[in-house]
Amino acid sequence: MGAEKVNVISFCPSCGASLDEDEHLVLAGSDSESNAEIRRLREALATEKQKHQDYVRAMSAAAMTHRPKVPELPKVSRSGAKLKATRERLGLSQIQLGDRLGLARSSVANYENGLAPLSKKVRAWMERNS
């Protein structure tokens, strides 16, 4: 039999992080017994590390499938593009056009970007100014 030997492991064999003094692993026994114990501990740590990685991968995959979809922006309608072209041809800003029609600037922008259908008032204005 080999000589009695004490091995102290002061770092995590898996990640290399330092262990606090009360967490040190002390292995006593012959060289061959100590080496076998170290191999067994490393294998156990590797198994636990693999389980953790599998769990993280599964959670990441689940998060990706349940991620809310970003709404697709609507395409600018022809009437919205025509409204913008007419407004720009007349040299009006969205605010100025909104003031003339009794609308907020954001409403004019929504009409131009196709986010809202043109109101009767806006369609009538376009007919008069086309």
Write out pLDDT tens, residues 15-36. Answer: 666 666 555 555 555 566 667 7
pLDDT of residue 1: 46
Burial class (CB in 10 A: 0-12, 13-18, 19+), 87: buried
Does residue 73 lie within any of the structural domains? no
What's the domain range around 55? 5-65
- Within this chain, do residues 59 and 90 fall inside the same structural domain, yes or no? no
Does residue 70 lie within any of the structural domains? no
- Within this chain, do residues 59 and 89 fall inside the same structural domain, yes or no? no
How far is the C-alpha of 126 from the C-alpha of 12, rounded, in Å?
Answer: 74
Task: Read off the pLDDT of residues 102-126 as tens digits, 9 standing for 90 and up.
Answer: 999 999 999 998 888 899 999 999 9
Does residue 122 lie within any of the structural domains? yes
Task: Read off the pLDDT of residues 51-62 as tens digits, 9 standing for 90 and up.
Answer: 888 888 887 777
**Within 10 Å of residue 125's Cβ, how many Cβ atoms?**
19
What is the CB-side half-sphere exposure of residue 92 using CA atoms within 13 A? 18
| Residue 66 pLDDT level (bands cut at 50, 70, 90) | low
pLDDT of residue 103: 94
- Within this chain, do residues 12 and 36 fall inside the same structural domain, yes or no? yes
Does residue 88 lie within any of the structural domains? yes
The more confident residue out of 39 and 22 is: 39
Q: Phi and psi for 31 in degrees, rounded to 5? A: -55, -45
| Residue 37 pLDDT level (bands cut at 50, 70, 90) | confident
The more confident residue out of 71 and 87 is: 87
Q: Are 38 and 28 in contact (CB under 8 A)?
A: no
- Within this chain, do residues 11 and 56 fall inside the same structural domain, yes or no? yes
- Within this chain, do residues 50 and 102 fall inside the same structural domain, yes or no? no
Does residue 72 lie within any of the structural domains? no
How far is the C-alpha of 28 from the C-alpha of 5, rounded, in Å?
Answer: 6
